[in-house]
Each structure stands twice: as C-alpha cells, then as structure tokens.
Amino acid sequence: MSIGSDEIIKLMKKCGIEFSERRVLKNADLTEMLDSLDMANLLLALEENYNILIPDEKIKDIANISAMVDFINSKS
C-alpha cells in the first residue's frame, strides 16, 4: 500500500516537531527547515514506522516530502 504526504505530516506532528505545513507541502528542503535534532527524530520515526533503513548518505536525496514519499513507496 502506498503512502502520501499526509502520512508524513501526521508523523511529524506525532514526533512533536514544530513546522510550517505549507512549506513542507511546497517541498521545502527539510534538512534546512528543521534543526538536526528534529531531522534525526523524523528519520527515526520513518525507519520505525515503515520498517526501512535510511543511510546517512541517502538523506540529501529524500530531503523534501515528495522525495520522501517516493522513497518510502519504493521500499514497500
């Protein structure tokens, strides 16, 4: 089953991350928008939620929500 942007948004909220939903949906670069701690928290939540591994070198390729969604769907 494929996921959409809304699942990622929900996960970010569940993690307690404060963010502009509008900017996220406009594909802002999350590594610039979030601080390093929130970014680490989000990546761990993605890994745990979708049972995937996100290596450090992959982060720059999935730094916006569209790329993140595509990456997760490609793994499931």
Residues near other proteins (CB under 8 A) are 16, 35-37, 39-41, 43-44, 48, 56
By beta-carbon proximity to other proteins, the closer residue of 4 and 10 is: 10
Q: How far is the CB of 2 from other proteins (least distance, A)?
A: 26
Torsion 51-57-63-69 (CA) sign: negative
Q: How far is the CB of 23 from other proteins (least distance, A)?
A: 17
For helices 36-50 and 65-75, angle between their N-to-C axes, nearest 10 degrees: 30
Lookup: tokens for 30: 């999350």
By beta-carbon proximity to other proteins, the closer residue of 1 and 37 is: 37
